[in-house]
Every structure is written in structure tokens, then in C-alpha cells.
């Protein structure tokens, strides 16, 4: 008799469990910036959310990073079951043009945390048509990393506030015989973001226009741009290792950590790596030096969360997104991932982002009059092939095989014709 009662109890418990499982809402969540560590971080946060919301299950889809953007495009274009999608600066325009993202303006209106988004996060959220299609999650901008101990060894007791000072200090301490240089050059893979950064801020009216350049506006033939490019070439020839022409991210980090190049321009996700290799107390991070007209610019990258336009669970998806995007949770996520959080309050309450290495990034994001918010025209059909063209031409310029004026005219024609 007891066995029959026990069997009946087990059956009832299984029935309740199955019923609860059947009534739970499953949200399909596609991430694109995949890595083993990041995916594990997301899974841990999802488990926390599910514990707080027993009626919701979140199925995290994590394709290999090299295939993730194609996977996102395929799933959206074929209306595959998807409720939350990670959107990048490189993909948001395409997704919106294909009418695959939900306008989140109505959700934002009832979201109290929207009031504390940084200026950069606000700009990222409104990337397309000034409309809120995503909630930004991580921000990537650049600042200047400095080995003050190396500078002190050479009698330098001040930080460069301008590009001219950065070039001059780099020249002063460069001594090839001692394998000592100033600036960690970037010659490969995204070199364009370093050369444009210095050349463009010599253009007095660079603040005009939405993009750094586009089919509608370029500054390549502006005398200021040429002056800035000449300054950049001087920095290479007189203040950087000549094999830097082949340097990518890893070589830059190695040069900085070894002290060979005590100046490094990088995103905040370099901080955990440098802390591990060098030690957090061995370097400082300061704002990007400004140009002769008193400004620099932020070429900001970002990832964010959006809701597919055809999702059948938009309200539930939004509930998860706003939970993930609170100041506390977003701070936790980026503290362990590496980029910058999206809320001003995170810098005030999260001890990690109150550290000395983040002060400069916070200052840049909240002073858009000095650090202009600019992006590249990522949706342009001319963008995909541009980076390789620019990298090849820059190497030819630095090696004396291509005249600067010829290159500038070529670049102008590429974008405007």
C-alpha cells in the first residue's frame, strides 16, 4: 500500500514538473561575439535570470565567432525562431534595412535605466535613423596607455596632451641601437583606425558630418588632413620601430609590456591582458591626445541586444534585456568581459570601473565636445574592400614607394566616384 502511494506521489510530481516545463516560455538568444569565456559568462547570468523567473527558459545559441555574423543574417532572413539577438556596429544597419529588428522606443519610455546611458551608448542605440533598435551592452573606444616608468628613465615628467607632444616625446626617447622607441605602431589589421585618428583631427571642420568620411564627404584633399598624415609618417619614421609596419594587436601589446614602446593606443579590453602580463601598477591610461584645433574623436564600436521583428515573445525578451542591461548587471558583465559599461552610474558604483585605468575612458565618453563621436560608414558598399586598400597604400607611403598626394587623391576618388 505504501509503495502504491509513493508511486502515485512520484507520478504527480512528474506531472507537475512536465506541466510547468510545458508552460514555460523559451526564448532563443543568439550571441555573435562568441568565445569560451564570454559564453560561460553569459550562461551564468542566464541561469541567474532563470532562477528569478521560473516561467522562462533561455536557449543560448553560440556559433563559432568566425561564422556568427553569417549565422545571425541567415536566421533573421529566414525568420528562424529567435527572440533576442546580439547586434554589432557592423550589422545593425543591414538588419534594420531588412526590417528584422523591433523599434524599442516604446520599451525605452518605461525603462528607468535609460536615463543613465552614457553619451556614447545613446549614440550607439540610435545608430540607424535616430531610432532605438538596440540596447547597447559593451562599448569599445580608444585611450592612450603610458609606461610612465620608461618615460621617467628618459627624464620625461609630463604626459602628452596633444599629438604634437606625443610625437616629440616619442622622438626624444627613440634610440634604435638600444631597441628603444616611443610609439607602439599598428601596421596590420585595422591600421586604418590609427592613421585616421591622427590625420583627421588636423582638419578644422572635421566635426561636420556624421561619419569620419563617406561617399558624401571626405577630407583627404583638405590641407589639414595632409598635414596630419605627414605628422603620422613622422611618428613612424622618427618615433616607432620600423618593423611596426607589420605589427598587429599582439605585437603592440608585447612592445608595450616589454617597455620597447611606452606609448600604446588601445581599447579597454587590453587592460585585463596587460594587468596580467605587466601588473596594474606599472602603467597609466590617459585620454587620447587632441589635435591642433583642440579636439580628438571617438571611433566607437559596440555590441547591443535587439529583438527580432517577428519574435512571438517580445515582452518576455524585453524583460530579459532590461535585466541584463541594468547598471549592476551590465557592469558585472563588462567587468568580466573587458569592454566599457553603458551606464554613467556604473562608473560611480562599480569599484572595478573606478580604477585609475578607466578614468580616461569615462572622461572621453562624457565630453563629446572635445572627443567627437564619429563612426565609419559600415553600411556602405565601398566599406568592405576599403581597409585592405588603405593598409596596402599606407605601407607603400611609409616605405617611400607611394607619394602621399597620389594616395590622398586615390582615396578621395575611391569614395566619391
Alpha carbons within 13 A on the beta-carbon side of 195: 26
CA separation for the pair 107, 113 (Å, rounded): 11
Q: Which stretch of DSSP H or E encloses residue 371? A: strand 371-374
Instruction: Give the number of other Cβ atoms within 10 Å of residue 203's Cβ.
Output: 21
What sign results for the dihedral spanned by CA atoms 160, 163, 166, 168? Answer: negative
Q: Where are the domains of the chain?
A: 24-139+301-349, 143-296+370-416
Per-residue pLDDT of the chain (417 residues; tens, 9 = 90+): 445 554 544 444 444 444 444 568 999 999 999 999 999 999 999 999 999 999 999 999 999 999 999 999 999 999 999 999 999 999 999 999 999 999 999 999 999 999 999 999 999 999 999 999 999 999 999 999 999 999 999 999 999 999 999 999 999 999 999 999 999 999 998 999 999 999 999 999 999 988 999 999 999 999 999 999 999 999 999 999 999 999 999 999 999 999 999 999 999 989 989 999 999 999 999 999 999 999 999 999 999 999 999 999 999 999 999 999 999 999 999 999 999 999 999 999 999 999 999 999 999 998 999 999 999 998 899 998 999 999 999 999 999 999 999 999 999 999 999
The CATH fold of domain 24-139+301-349: D-Maltodextrin-Binding Protein; domain 2 (3.40.190)
Q: What is the DSSP letter of 221?
A: T
How high is the pLDDT of residue 164? Answer: 98
CA separation for the pair 201, 412 (Å, rounded): 17
CA separation for the pair 318, 308 (Å, rounded): 11
Cell of 358: 578607466
Nearest to 230 by CA among 186, 238, 185: 238
Instruction: Kindly report the backbone phi and psi dihedral angles of residue 391, in degrees, each rounded to the nearest multiple of 5, phi listed first.
Output: -60, -45
Which CATH class, in words, describes the domain spanning 143-296+370-416?
A: alpha beta
Q: Which stretch of DSSP H or E encloses residue 285? A: strand 284-286
Query: Is 361 within 8 Å of 119 (Cβ atoms)?
Result: no
CA separation for the pair 394, 402 (Å, rounded): 8
Q: Whole-prediction pTM value?
A: 0.87
Query: Is 82 within 8 Å of 75 (Cβ atoms)?
Result: yes
Check if 24-139+301-349 and 143-296+370-416 are the same fold. Answer: yes
Complete DSSP assignment for 259-288: TS--EEEE-TTHHHHHHHHT-GGG-EEEPP
Cell of 208: 561636420
Amino acid at each position: 500500500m505504501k509503495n502504491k502511494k509513493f508511486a502515485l506521489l512520484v507520478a504527480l510530481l512528474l506531472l507537475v514538473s512536465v506541466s510547468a516545463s510545458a508552460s514555460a516560455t523559451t526564448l532563443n538568444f543568439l550571441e555573435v561575439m562568441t568565445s569560451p569565456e564570454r559564453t560561460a559568462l553569459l550562461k551564468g547570468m542566464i541561469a541567474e535570470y532563470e532562477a528569478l523567473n521560473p516561467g522562462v527558459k533561455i536557449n543560448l545559441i553560440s556559433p563559432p565567432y568566425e561564422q556568427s555574423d553569417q549565422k545571425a543574417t541567415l536566421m533573421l532572413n529566414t525568420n528562424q525562431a529567435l527572440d533576442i539577438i546580439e547586434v554589432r556596429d557592423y550589422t545593425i544597419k543591414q538588419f534594420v534595412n531588412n526590417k528584422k529588428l523591433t523599434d524599442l522606443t516604446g520599451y525605452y519610455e518605461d525603462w528607468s535605466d535609460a536615463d543613465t546611458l552614457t553619451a556614447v551608448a545613446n549614440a550607439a542605440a540610435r545608430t540607424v535613423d535616430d531610432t532605438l533598435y538596440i540596447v547597447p551592452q559593451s562599448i569599445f573606444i580608444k585611450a592612450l596607455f603610458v609606461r610612465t616608468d620608461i618615460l621617467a628613465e628618459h627624464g620625461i615628467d609630463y604626459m602628452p596632451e596633444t599629438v604634437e607632444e606625443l610625437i616629440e616625446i616619442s622622438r626624444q626617447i627613440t634610440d634604435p641601437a638600444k631597441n628603444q622607441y616611443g610609439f607602439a605602431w599598428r601596421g596590420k589589421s585595422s591600421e586604418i583606425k590609427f592613421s585616421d585618428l591622427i590625420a583627421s583631427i588636423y582638419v578644422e571642420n572635421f566635426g561636420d558630418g556624421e561619419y569620419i568620411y563617406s561617399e558624401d564627404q571626405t577630407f583627404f584633399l583638405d590641407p589639414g588632413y595632409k598635414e596630419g598624415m605627414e605628422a603620422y609618417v613622422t611618428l613612424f619614421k622618427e618615433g616607432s620601430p620600423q618593423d611596426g609596419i607589420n605589427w598587429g594587436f599582439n605585437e603592440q601589446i608585447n612592445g608595450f609590456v616589454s617597455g620597447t614602446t611606452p606609448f600604446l593606443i588601445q581599447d579597454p579590453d587590453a587592460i585585463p591582458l596587460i594587468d596580467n602580463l605587466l601588473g596594474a601598477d606599472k602603467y597609466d591610461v590617459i585620454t587620447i591626445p587632441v589635435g591642433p584645433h583642440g579636439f580628438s574623436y571617438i571611433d566607437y564600436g559596440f555590441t547591443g541586444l535587439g529583438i527580432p521583428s517577428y519574435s512571438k515573445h517580445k515582452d518576455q525578451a524585453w524583460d530579459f534585456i532590461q535585466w541584463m542591461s541594468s547598471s549592476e548587471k551590465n557592469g558585472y558583465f563588462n567587468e568580466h568581459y573587458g569592454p566599457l559599461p553603458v551606464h554613467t552610474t556604473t562608473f560611480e558604483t562599480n569599484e572595478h570601473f573606478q580604477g585609475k585605468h578607466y578614468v580616461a575612458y569615462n572622461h572621453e565618453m562624457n565630453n563629446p565636445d572635445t572627443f567627437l563621436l564619429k563612426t565609419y560608414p559600415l553600411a556602405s558598399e565601398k566599406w568592405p574592400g576599403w581597409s585592405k586598400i588603405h593598409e596596402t597604400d599606407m605601407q607603400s607611403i611609409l616605405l617611400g614607394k607611394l607619394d602621399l598626394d597620389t594616395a590622398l587623391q586615390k582615396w578621395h576618388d575611391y569614395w566619391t566616384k
